[in-house]
Structure 1
Amino acid sequence: MAVVLLLEDDPGLQYVFSEALEDAGHDVHVASDNDQAMSALRRCTPDVLLLDLMIQGGLSTDVANYAVYSAPDADVIYMTGSGLFPKGELFGMSRNARLVLRKPVDIRELTTMVAHVTLGEPTLEVPVPT
């Protein structure tokens, strides 16, 4: 079981992702914006941060960078439907970034990737289906 901080501003996706992760046995803390996520990082020490990259007009990279200090062993999985950073630039911007999942995210893929990073596997980006 891993402690997961889920940052997702879409209430429907937040619900579906958190339920799937809880069903997989993880302890999930949810946040809807960067401020809530930063506050959650002060209350818990997650193993994994599952971050929607584009969050309410900004980026969640600030949360990932804060986690480097507040939860240094936590890995970051970004989720995005955006075309930003198509060449893996996120891995240079966030030193704790391990994966990028492209939206729409398959629930099985999500739970598998959370399990993958908690086992300490190397960094990889899930390819965009064509």
Structure 2
Amino acid sequence: MRVLIVESEIELANIWRRHLERLSFEVHHAETSDLAVEAIGDQDFDVIILNLILAEGSALAVSDYAQYRQPNTNVIFVTDTSFFSDGSIFSMTPNARALVRTGTKPEDLAAMVEHYGSHAETQPV
């Protein structure tokens, strides 16, 4: 299973990466929306872990591009704000599967990736 982590905080991305790699996932990391778009254009992903607040660029643009290029890719949004706590992210981005806090336990996030990634592999195009 291939996972793209789009996270500006390198330490946090590395924590998530280590947990996912322990489950034998192939993990790629992009710090900015531009790097994420480039990765999505070059490779297929089953799941994207995407921080809504990036240091550079727009997370929603990344999600839109992923929906266009890889419609079966599922997105797990993470955030440390309450901005989308009303669930509106799910009406704005059809590939959104979850919205969790950045402080979510890495093993819980890994379980979500495993769940949504297995569904991505079985979805018809």
Q: Normalising by structure 1, report the TM-score.
A: 0.87
- Name 1:18's counterpart in structure 2: 17
Letter in 2 for 1:90: I
- Residues 6 and 31 of structure 2 are in contact (CA less than 8 Å); yes or no, is this contact kept in structure 1? yes
- Name 1:30's counterpart in structure 2: 29
- Name 1:40's counterpart in structure 2: 39
- Name 2:123's counterpart in structure 1: none
Q: Where do 5+ consecutive residues of structure 1 fail to align?
A: 122-130
- Name 2:61's counterpart in structure 1: 62
Higher helix share: 2
**Quick one: distance in 1 between partners of 2:28 and 2:56?**
22
Count of residue pairs the alignment pairs up: 120
> SS where residue 119 of structure 2 aligns?
coil
**Quick one: distance in 1 between partners of 2:57 and 2:42?**
23
- Name 1:6's counterpart in structure 2: 5
Q: Normalising by structure 2, report the TM-score.
A: 0.90
1:1-130 equivalence runs, <5 A: 2-56=1-55, 59-120=58-119
Higher relative contact order (CA 8 A, sep 6+): 2
Alpha-carbon RMSD across the aligned residues, in angstroms, is: 1.4
- Residues 8 and 55 of structure 2 are in contact (CA less than 8 Å); yes or no, is this contact kept in structure 1? yes
Percent identity, aligned pairs only?
A: 31
